[in-house]
Amino acid sequence: MGSLQNLSETWIYLSASPLFHLTLTLVAFQAAAWLFEKGGRNPLLNPVMVAVVIIVIVLSATGTSYASYFEGAQFVHFLLGPATVALAVPLYRQWHVVKRSGVAIAISLLCGSLTAIATSVAMAWLLGATPEIMATIAPKSVTAPVAMAIAEEIGGLPSVTAVLVILTGIIGAMFGTMVLNACRVRPWTARGLAMGTASHGIGTARALQVNETAGAFSGLAMGLNALATAILLPILWGLVFR
């Protein structure tokens, strides 16, 4: 009885500590990465998706709120900035290719950005969604901080947008390679642009696992798509819903 009480007290102490939630995040991702490797790098075993499932199960089982969890996870969240900046390294290595393809990249990104916006809004509209929900869905293919800011500006729900952004990235990382193979898209530059435009950072991480050139162009597309969407979407939204 005494040992159970001590164990319970220990758990209460650990669960209240930010260090515990940081450790949970790192262990969950490490376990997911191990499973990904053991599964032959099957994209359906995407480490981000598996880690999210593990963390959700643990938080649900222990009755831990997201706010309490984020007190520790914020340290990992802080590292998203340096990780994004680090994408400039493979891009620098491929800069000679980027310079040769400037016009093609600009046209591809513009088409990709408009397609991502139009398809998500059109599907929501066909299903009878309200303008608020359509505004929430519209920036789903942009990296989370930018997407949330855009959603708030055009009247959406930023917190829901963040969830949709993560889901979009995971789906892109899981199925993007299969779709590109089915469409017979061969050049690594084109594959990278498609992944970065459609599924932002999570898709870019997947592209880097496959090929450095694809990863470089995916990082470029992620950044430029965020810029293009931040400019285009509020303008288009104002024209359609004013």
What whole-number distance in Å separates Cα of residue 234 and Cα of residue 7? Answer: 53
What's the pLDDT score for residue 168?
A: 92
What's the pLDDT score for residue 66?
A: 78
Is the pLDDT at 12 greater than 60, yes or no?
A: no
For the ranges 10-24, 36-50, 148-162, 177-191, which has the lowest average pLDDT?
A: 10-24
Please give the structure tokens belonging to residue 62. Answer: 């222990």
Is the pLDDT at 9 greater than 90, yes or no?
A: no
By the 8 A CB rule, do 36 and 42 touch?
yes
* 115 band by pLDDT with thresholds 50, 70 and 90: very high
* 4 band by pLDDT with thresholds 50, 70 and 90: low
Percent of the chain whose predicted confidence (pLDDT) is above 90: 31
What's the pLDDT score for residue 31?
A: 94
Percent of the chain whose predicted confidence (pLDDT) is above 70: 89
Q: Which positions ≥6 away from 70 have C-beta within 8 Å?
A: 21, 77
Q: Mean pLDDT throughout 225-235?
A: 89
Domain residue ranges in the chain: 2-78, 85-241
What's the pLDDT score for residue 18?
A: 62
| Average of per-residue pLDDT values in the chain | 84
Q: Mean pLDDT throughout 81-104?
A: 75
By the 8 A CB rule, do 125 and 134 touch?
yes
By the 8 A CB rule, do 196 and 222 touch?
yes
* 122 band by pLDDT with thresholds 50, 70 and 90: very high
What's the pLDDT score for residue 16?
A: 53
Task: Compare 232 and 96 and report the one with higher pLDDT.
Answer: 232
Is the pLDDT at 97 greater than 80, yes or no?
A: no
What whole-number distance in Å separates Cα of residue 233 and Cα of residue 183? Answer: 28
Is the pLDDT at 5 greater than 70, yes or no?
A: no
Is the pLDDT at 1 greater than 70, yes or no?
A: no
Q: Mean pLDDT throughout 11-22?
A: 62
By the 8 A CB rule, do 150 and 233 touch?
yes
pTM, two decimals, is: 0.77
Q: What angle do CA 80, 177, 222 make, to 5 degrees?
A: 35
137-175 pLDDT tens trace: 999 988 888 888 899 999 999 889 988 998 999 999 889
What's the pLDDT score for residue 203?
A: 87
